[in-house]
Amino acid sequence: MMALKVLLLGRPGSGKTTAAHYFLQRAAVAGLRATHVDDYDLLEEKCQADAEQRRFRPLIVNGRYCGFDVLDFGVMDEVLLEAEARVEQHLARYPDNGLAMLEFARDDYLHALHLFSPRFLRDARLLYFRIDVETAIQRVRQRYCQTGCQLVSEQILRSYYRDDGFVDQLSLIKKDFSLNQTIEICDNNETLQLFLQRLDRFFELLLRQEAKAGLIC
């Protein structure tokens, strides 16, 4: 078996982190050494180091830090390069049974994908979670109420993430990148149970594709 690489894409609140945690559980059962790289964590590290608040605006609720808004969107490109390096380090460590998941949300996925090296993308699986802006706002609020963290302001959701053009860019993405794997789109507008069933199907397909290629004994 070769190492597996999955990019989890979609608006904040679309289910990317839920999917990553679920895949980590499935991977452990399947004997895979899995890691989850979330670009939110990388952005938060930079936010904490941004003492002058030139690139980030911390979100404070009732005197408590609970997230941030990005002010300098150039940092969004920077963290993707760092994320690629972390993914490659993990897969180099586990070349035969590694699974690396990279989670990020952008307003222009074509631009974001062009930041990665061609070799990095060639064998990556792209899984995009589709929800509308209003649902994203509702779920981010719910997440904050449940966890008290990872808050994204409604202003950013309605501006930067308003035009999530992944589906519109799909033909260009397929044209511009020599992807060996298919691109999957998962609508996440129903119940958690149905969502997990879709994740199960994706994970089983992921393993079957490797088996069909003769990469799993």
Residue 140 inside a domain? The answer is yes
CATH code for the domain in which residue 142 is found: 3.40.50.300
Q: Over the stretch 198-210, which tens digit does the pLDDT of each residue have?
A: 999 999 998 887 6
Q: Does a structural domain hold residue 217?
A: no
> pLDDT of 141-162, one tens digit each?
998 888 877 788 999 999 999 9
Residue 139 belongs to some domain of the structure = yes
Task: Flag whether 51 is in a domain.
Answer: yes
Please count the residues of the chain: 217
Number of structural domains in the chain: 1
Q: Is residue 38 part of a domain?
A: yes
- Does the pLDDT value for residue 97 go beyond 70? yes
Provide the pLDDT for residue 94: 96
For residue 91, tell me if it sits in a domain.
Answer: yes
Q: Is residue 25 helix, strand or coil?
A: helix
* Cα Rg of the chain (Å, integer): 17
What is the pLDDT at residue 191? 87
Cβ-contact 69, 59 below 8 angstroms: yes
Q: Which domain holds residue 174?
A: 4-212
